[in-house]
Structure 1
Amino acid sequence: MVKLTIVEDRPTPKEVYNWRVYFLASMACWASVMIGYDSAFIGSAMALKSFKDEFGLSTKTKAEFNFLSANIVSCYQAGCFFGALSGYFVGFYFGRKWGLFVASLVFIVGSILQTVASGKTGLGIMYAGRIIAGWSVGVASNLTPIYIAEISPPAIRGRLIGIYELGWQIGAVVGFWIGYGVNQHIPYGNVQWIIPFAVQLIPGGMLGLGCLTLKESPRWLASRDRYDSALANLALIRHLPADHVYVQEELYEIKSAIEHDEEKAGRGILAPIKTLFSNRSYMKRLALCVSLFIGQNVTGINAINYYSPTVFASIGVSGTSTSLLTTGVFGLIKFAVALIWLLWLVDRYGRKLLLIIGSAGGAVCMYWIGIYIAVAKPANNPSSNLSGGGISAMVVFYLWTCFYGPTWNGTPWVMGAEVMPTFIRSATQAIIASSNWLFAFLIARFTPQMFTAMGFGVYLFFASLMVVSIPCVYFAVPETSGIPLEHMDELFALSPRTAHTILAERLRAEHHMDGSFADTDAKNPDDGHLEPARSNDGRMV
């Protein structure tokens, strides 16, 4: 059962919920602004006549145009897939902070290549730039949620990882609107389509600058036996003295979890991978997280993100300017509901209930749109104005956005970042993030062909898959909100339907949730540092 209030695993000083932890999460989330913009602008940019004419797309047949546009879009996801896998090795050797810095530099290189491409050079440089930018986006999509999860207090972990999703939507809003802006205000010519590609440099550069302000993850530092640095960073992030009982207890739990994992698997870059594939519980969690990204992609979101002008044309929207305008409105609505999810929903109503509501509401909306297109056949009856049925379909489409935005949009990223032990989290996040980009690649590569071959059936297809996801989530996904990262093993040892209730009650009992710290001022007389309070069975309280 999902708790309707924020749950603390132990009494938490108010200083822990400080501006610095929000600031660090926000700086890391320039990565998601970068990702969101890159995912959104390409459809609008390719819809510009200046872009089509520059690369000779205007003279292509529909099948040829579908093939080339799918290549431009999908080679980016291919780069993301390999980048997400590489992110494990980047994060292992360089850490979260410098791994993100490397990603920002590579992204800038890819963005420059896309910007300097032209009809004279052909699409080869464009493809190369898209693949390189995609690689860095894959690395960033791996490391950013991990970094935020590892610096977050449990009670606001969903909210802080939600900033990642909010940054994605900020980037997407700009990406969706920039095509409309340049189409309206920039004269036809090379500059018109170059501007959307050049804007990629802004979030990429801001991520690089933001990385210089980050504090390395205490959990990563502890995994490298750099406990003094881990303690210093943890105290700074928690805005408490290094000898405070809360900081000492948290570092003790981090150290204990790492030692426990390393006892089972050993050390080294391959040890986490071996542990993952030899442990049935971890593999079940990995399969669950990958399944959530399948669920996210079968909502149809990436078909809409990358080919929004095509989607709106199928409803009956005609004209480049009008299509880009409706795409921009879609981006604004996505941003607004993502903000509601971040500020109010994710840590109040948890993860599971939101996913079920998103699937149910989204399926109804997709069925409505599919039935309208099947009956009215707007593509066969073009008009400069939408009919009453077309307007209803447009409203329902935006309603679908309201269901998707605060549910499936960010929740899989939150759960993917929080359900694995520290020792294997980076390796599993690489697989989880790469699976997202693999499914996005498949959707992006074949969406134009799907619309050509299936017509209104595309919407019925996505709606039916959303219906299938409802019982899958209900029976297989445990609620994770408010549960400390170090207690995920206990959560997944219980039945998914009741695990959250049982474990949350157990943790409150263990930590004597009476609103105050016990023995807050008690120190070990030998070394002047706080010792974690313990119950009779040796567990911290």
Structure 2
Amino acid sequence: MTFKSELDEISRYRNAYVLALSVALGSLFYGYDIGLIGGILSLGSFQNYFGLDKMNPREKAWLNGNIVAILQLGCLFGALGVGSFSSRYGRKPCLLASGGIYIIGSALQVIVGLGGTREYALSLLYTGRFLGGIGVGMVTALVPSYVSECTPQAIRGRCTGLIQLAINVGIMLSFWVNYFASKNMPSSESQWRVPFAIQIVPGVLFLLAMPFQPESPRYMVEKEEYDRAAQTLAFFVSPMIFGSLGIDGTTAELFATGVYGGVKVVSVALTLAMAVEGIGRKKCLIVGGLGQSAMMLWIGGYSALHPAPTAATPSSYISIVAVYLYAAFFSFGWGPIPWVVAAEVAPNHLRTVVISTATGVNWLFSLTISKLTPIMLNELGYGTFLLFGFCCLIMAFWAWLCLPETAGFGLEEIGLLFETDVILRALQDAPGGRIFIGDRRATPVARELRLPIAGDEDSEAVALLGPDSDSG
């Protein structure tokens, strides 16, 4: 695809892209929030204020784990709880509510300890991070389904993948804000309060952008509001709306993480532009998982052989490169692609509930890892990286064995991929998979959902929106 054709496509689907970018602001504050706390925890001013500098390593690891994990706990509750509300009241009102809850939680984190004693500051910090987490969890459960339901099949993967791009942009911004605060601000309360305050900005931008976006057309169909659904669809998929409804210190460390965040942003952007629709979801997950595994195993092996390096060596430089390559592989596969797949595989009437459950499970494991990682690094050292490396290997094998390719199918067709012969279909789509299945092939998906309507012989609109009552 040429540069001119890319520009033509962006112009053709401009309304869909604007919606995706508007909703991605929610993922931006998600990324900023989860990336922010690591840098703040490393600031001497924060450690002094909350007494972390007076704790032994074990106590410090536990408290750090609690401060990080309380956000994930809120995310878990937010993700699991929003599904039924979005099915009853709609995606858009719940998205607006998530932004409001996030802003309240963020504001509480800014005012921690102001006008009171420091003994209660930690409790208020926990409360603010928990509320912020609820808002973030709601966003992570709602945004994939909302974007996938509103965008055309041709760019659905790219638009849904913008979620991960926005997350990485948020993480990158948080890294650079922490770096700026560490390098240019005096070691005082303001040094850690300012980064907390800045996290309110993407939440406000999200609340300003969302009112101009419509409700999900598929939610309208569930409520039998066919005219409104048709108008919304026409607003987004204009060129093909009735053709498809696929409708060494702290400062140095923070500088390194800022570069790390930049690598992830660039990698996700390239993946969305060239790989998610061209290469497909399945291969991206396989390559990403194998790459992540190799990088983790290298870092684990290096850490085992050099437990306390005092000077840079060629292998240490390779390990630094491995960290950045890990970010690139993650951004190629298991960063953006799970959001795409999760938003595609569920049927319309269960999509929000399924994504809510899937996102909740994601936050459950995120909570567990966030809590245990500081402790594991303190107790296991290099074994932590080896464990994560083997987990990434298992992820790649699962994608190879169990996941059929979903690219190129409409939302109403994808469910048929999982009705029969799932493993056979997955191996049929997998690199080298046909070696194990011989001449066997899964039953082709019959595209029975495409029904003709006026002026278009290849459309899913009638199946989704219902026939015109005046057509006889």
TM-score (norm 1): 0.76
1:333-352 aligned at under 5 Å gives the runs: 333-352=263-282
Return 16-25 or 125-134, whichever deviates more: 16-25
SS in 1 for 2:278: coil
Is contact 1:151–1:217 with CA below 8 Å preserved after alignment?
yes
Give the match for residue 363 of structure 2: 437
**Structure 1: segments with no counterpart, 5+ residues:** 5-12, 241-245, 255-317, 523-529, 533-541
Give the match for residue 330 of structure 1: 260
TM-superposition CA deviations, 1:193-227 (whole Å, max 9, x none): 10110011111111111111111111001111111
1:526-537 aligned at under 5 Å gives the runs: none
Distance (whole Å) between structure 2 residues aligned to residue 161 and residue 394 of structure 1: 31
Distance (whole Å) between structure 2 residues aligned to residue 443 and residue 122 of structure 1: 25
SS in 2 for 1:482: coil
Is contact 1:155–1:481 with CA below 8 Å preserved after alignment?
no
Distance (whole Å) between structure 2 residues aligned to residue 32 and residue 433 of structure 1: 13
Is residue 2:384 matched to residue 1:458? yes
Is contact 2:10–2:17 with CA below 8 Å preserved after alignment?
no
Is contact 2:75–2:133 with CA below 8 Å preserved after alignment?
yes
Give the match for residue 185 of structure 1: 184
CA pair 81-521 structure 1, distance change in 2 beyond 3 A: closer
Distance (whole Å) between structure 1 residues aligned to residue 449 and residue 349 of structure 2: 25
Return 137-146 or 488-497, whichever deviates more: 488-497
Distance (whole Å) between structure 1 residues aligned to residue 137 and residue 447 of structure 2: 38
TM-superposition CA deviations, 1:462-485 (whole Å, max 9, x none): 112222233322111111112111
| 1:531 shift after superposition | 7.3
* Residue identity matched to 1:46: L
Is contact 2:76–2:363 with CA below 8 Å preserved after alignment?
yes
Give the match for residue 353 of structure 1: 283
| 1:401 shift after superposition | 1.6
Is residue 2:172 matched to residue 1:195? no
Is contact 2:101–2:132 with CA below 8 Å preserved after alignment?
yes
Which of 356, 372, 380 does residue 302 from structure 2 map onto? Answer: 372
Return 353-362 or 24-33, whichever deviates more: 353-362
Is residue 2:226 matched to residue 1:227? yes
Is residue 2:147 matched to residue 1:152? no
| 1:231 shift after superposition | 1.3
SS in 2 for 1:232: helix
Distance (whole Å) between structure 2 residues aligned to residue 405 and residue 416 of structure 1: 16
**Structure 2: segments with no counterpart, 5+ residues:** 2-7, 430-440, 464-472
Distance (whole Å) between structure 1 residues aligned to residue 10 and residue 335 of structure 2: 30
Is contact 2:150–2:216 with CA below 8 Å preserved after alignment?
yes
TM-superposition CA deviations, 1:59-110 (whole Å, max 9, x none): 1111111111111100100000000011112312321111110111111100
CA pair 521-349 structure 1, distance change in 2 beyond 3 A: closer
Give the match for residue 127 of structure 1: 126
| 1:192 shift after superposition | 0.8
Give the match for residue 432 of structure 2: none
CA pair 34-441 structure 1, distance change in 2 beyond 3 A: same
Give the match for residue 37 of structure 1: 32
SS in 2 for 1:340: helix
TM-superposition CA deviations, 1:90-146 (whole Å, max 9, x none): 312321111110111111100010000023532000000000000011111111111
| 1:440 shift after superposition | 0.2
Distance (whole Å) between structure 2 residues aligned to residue 166 and residue 121 of structure 1: 37
CA pair 521-492 structure 1, distance change in 2 beyond 3 A: closer
TM-superposition CA deviations, 1:118-176 (whole Å, max 9, x none): 23532000000000000011111111111000011112111010111111111011012
SS in 2 for 1:162: helix
CA pair 139-377 structure 1, distance change in 2 beyond 3 A: same
Is contact 2:267–2:332 with CA below 8 Å preserved after alignment?
yes
Give the match for residue 87 of structure 2: 92
Is residue 2:465 matched to residue 1:470? no
Distance (whole Å) between structure 2 residues aligned to residue 115 and residue 183 of structure 1: 17
Is contact 1:491–1:503 with CA below 8 Å preserved after alignment?
no
| 1:417 shift after superposition | 0.8
Is contact 1:490–1:503 with CA below 8 Å preserved after alignment?
no
Distance (whole Å) between structure 1 residues aligned to residue 397 and residue 13 of structure 2: 39
SS in 2 for 1:25: helix
1:471-490 aligned at under 5 Å gives the runs: 471-490=397-416
TM-score (norm 2): 0.87
SS in 1 for 2:52: coil
Which of 391, 397, 402 does residue 317 from structure 2 map onto? Answer: 391
* Residue identity matched to 2:327: T
SS in 2 for 1:58: helix
* Residue identity matched to 1:170: V
Is residue 2:349 matched to residue 1:411? no
* Residue identity matched to 1:369: I
Give the match for residue 81 of structure 1: 76
Is contact 2:85–2:94 with CA below 8 Å preserved after alignment?
yes
SS in 2 for 1:498: helix
Is contact 1:359–1:466 with CA below 8 Å preserved after alignment?
yes
1:29-68 aligned at under 5 Å gives the runs: 29-68=24-63
SS in 2 for 1:212: helix
Give the match for residue 455 of structure 2: 520
* Residue identity matched to 2:299: I
Give the match for residue 212 of structure 2: 213
Is contact 2:413–2:445 with CA below 8 Å preserved after alignment?
no
* Residue identity matched to 1:444: S
Distance (whole Å) between structure 1 residues aligned to residue 250 and residue 153 of structure 2: 46
Is contact 1:78–1:134 with CA below 8 Å preserved after alignment?
yes
| 1:511 shift after superposition | 6.9
TM-superposition CA deviations, 1:375-426 (whole Å, max 9, x none): 1222xx4x3x533322221112211222111111111111111101000111
* Paired positions, count: 437
Ranked by relative contact order (alpha carbons within 8 Å, sequence separation 6 or more), the top structure is: 1
Distance (whole Å) between structure 1 residues aligned to residue 316 and residue 281 of structure 2: 34
Give the match for residue 101 of structure 2: 106
Distance (whole Å) between structure 2 residues aligned to residue 144 and residue 84 of structure 1: 11
Distance (whole Å) between structure 2 residues aligned to residue 398 and residue 214 of structure 1: 36
Distance (whole Å) between structure 2 residues aligned to residue 337 and residue 44 of structure 1: 22
